[in-house]
Amino acid sequence: MTIKKCPICNGPGEKERQVGKYWLSKCHDCGFVYADVSDEQIEQVNFNFGDSVKHHYCEVQSSIDALWFERISSNLTQGKKGLKVLDIGCGNGLLLRQFQKRGCVCFGSDPSPWAQEYAQKYGYTLLPRIEEAGLAPNSFDIITATSTLEHVARPIEHLKYIMAAVKEGGMIYLTVPNYGSLPIRLRLVKGRLVDPPGHCNYFTAKTLKNLFMQKGIKEYISYTRVRSYGIPEIHAVYRLLSKKIPTSVKSSHDSMPKRILLKRALINIYYWSGMPFGFGDKLEAWIVKNSAFPHQVFIA
């Protein structure tokens, strides 16, 4: 049976490991790991969401997630107001709500049939999929895509649309699961490998950087930083510790509740503990689009 070619460099693939009933393949040329499934299968699973996904958001997202998105939006806006922001895969708009608090003009893109409900509720504009939205070039100051690129059948094409839509000098922020995380390297926790075709791209720091070096993408980038972060157990730690802190208790040095301080401390622990040696649970990429084309690429 013919193995699907690499969606990044079109190189030949070889079997890497089996996850559920599907095989992951590894590119012989660039080392990228991807699901050996058709684009049609990927589209069918990832762009036909029902109410079960809506309920999943409600169950798994917490106030810690809101604080995490608050941190991301603060770092990206750097105190500037009136920035035009697009969040791809916006879901229930939790990240966009943090940008709204910072005076941004917000847009979301999500294929879920219930996404419009949240857009109307929170007052941001919902767009079609970025490949179908017909966006004018250089439209947004900031584009974010948290945990979406692993679901996309054609990641290079997808990223080209993002690069075209962001303004010159604008910022792109991406996150994906880290296939190079310590548990996956040691094959200790199979559960962190979401079954294909729900996930179809399995990035390491090296292969994510290689994506940004592909023709049609690298020419538009002036700076990229890729690094790992995160340990997913932080939610369980918070639930355990918060039981010992009454909701109304204030900290001794200011009026902020101790639970908020605990959450902020755990977010810092969550972020930095996953950084050493590239073994974190997720990868993040900060990308700056060229303000003058062409430009020399710098990737950290």
**Rounded (10°) angle between helices 205-212 and 155-165:** 60
Look at the block and give the residue holding tokens 């990223």: 159
* 129 within domain boundaries: yes
Residue 249 forms part of a structural domain: yes
- 77 and 22 share one domain: yes
* Distance from chain centroid for Cα 126: 18
Residue 67 pairs in a beta bridge with none
For tokens 């996309």, the residue is 152
Same domain, 142 and 257: no
For residue 92, which phi and psi values (nearest 5 degrees)?
-90, 10
The answer on 245 and 226 residing in a single domain is no
Per the structure, the complete domain to which residue 66 belongs is given by 13-233+271-289
Q: Does the residue 93 lie in any domain?
A: yes
State how far the Cα of 167 lies from the Cα of 154, in Å rounded to an integer.
23
Predicted model pTM: 0.88
Are 103 and 114 in the same domain? yes
Are 265 and 194 within one domain? no
Domain count, the chain: 2
Q: Are residues 75 and 154 in the same domain?
A: yes
Q: Is 53 inside any structural domain?
A: yes
The CATH number that applies at residue 95 is: 3.40.50.150
129 and 151 inside one domain: yes
Domain identity same for 261 and 155: no
Q: Cα–Cα distance between 175 and 161 in angstroms, integer?
A: 17
Q: Are 119 and 241 found together in one domain?
A: no
- Domain assignment present for residue 297? The answer is no
Q: Is residue 56 included in any domain, yes or no? A: yes
8: in domain: no
Helices and strands of the chain, counted as H and E runs: 10, 11
- Whether residue 238 sits in one domain with residue 179: no
Per-residue pLDDT of the chain (300 residues; tens, 9 = 90+): 689 999 999 999 999 999 889 999 999 999 999 999 999 999 988 777 666 665 556 655 667 788 889 999 999 999 999 999 999 999 899 999 999 999 999 999 998 888 899 999 999 999 999 999 899 999 999 999 999 999 999 999 999 999 999 999 999 999 999 999 988 888 776 656 778 998 999 999 999 999 999 999 999 999 999 999 988 666 566 566 655 555 554 544 455 577 778 778 888 888 888 888 889 999 999 999 997 554 444 445
4 domain-assigned: no
Q: State whether 246 and 120 are in the same domain.
A: no
29 and 158 in a common domain: yes
